[in-house]
Every structure is written in C-alpha cells, then in structure tokens.
Amino acid sequence: MDTRILLGVLLGLVAVAVGVFSLITAILTRRRRAEIAETYATTGGVAYSVVQFGCAGVLILAGLAVMVIVLVAGRQ
C-alpha cells in the first residue's frame, strides 16, 4: 500500500475515534446533568447536548467518508 493511502486511512480513523470519544463524553455529561435537570434545562444544556451529539456524528461520518474516498481513489 502507498504511504498516502495509509495516512488517509489513519486520518479517517483519528476522526472517527475523536467522534466516538465526543459522543461518549456527551452521553456522560447528559447523565451527570440529569441530576440537576431544572438548572440544566434553564441554562440551555439541552441545546448544548444536541450540538455536541451533532458534532460527534459529523466527525464520525467525515472520518468514514475520508477513509472511503482514500481507499476508492487509491485503487484507481
């Protein structure tokens, strides 16, 4: 395999790993904040959670897309 392909796949894997880590962090934060639900809702915590879940999802999808593009382009 070409070094450029390996680096592209590595970049994709790092993006997926960061996305998964962000998703786990969002879940843990949401659970921890559930104990103080009134304050959490009043300060906009729900919106923060939605944004955090969305960013994690985008990172995971972007990492997968990078890996697919690199692997498809590398075969040509």
Please state the domain extents for the chain: 9-74
pLDDT digits (tens, 9 = 90+) for 4-16: 889 999 999 999 9
CA neighbours closer than 13 Å in the CB half-sphere of residue 63:
17
Main-chain dihedrals φ then ψ at residue 75, nearest 5 degrees: -80, -15
pTM for the model stands at 0.82
Nearest CA among 67, 64, 13 for reference residue 75: 67
The pLDDT value recorded for residue 1 is 65
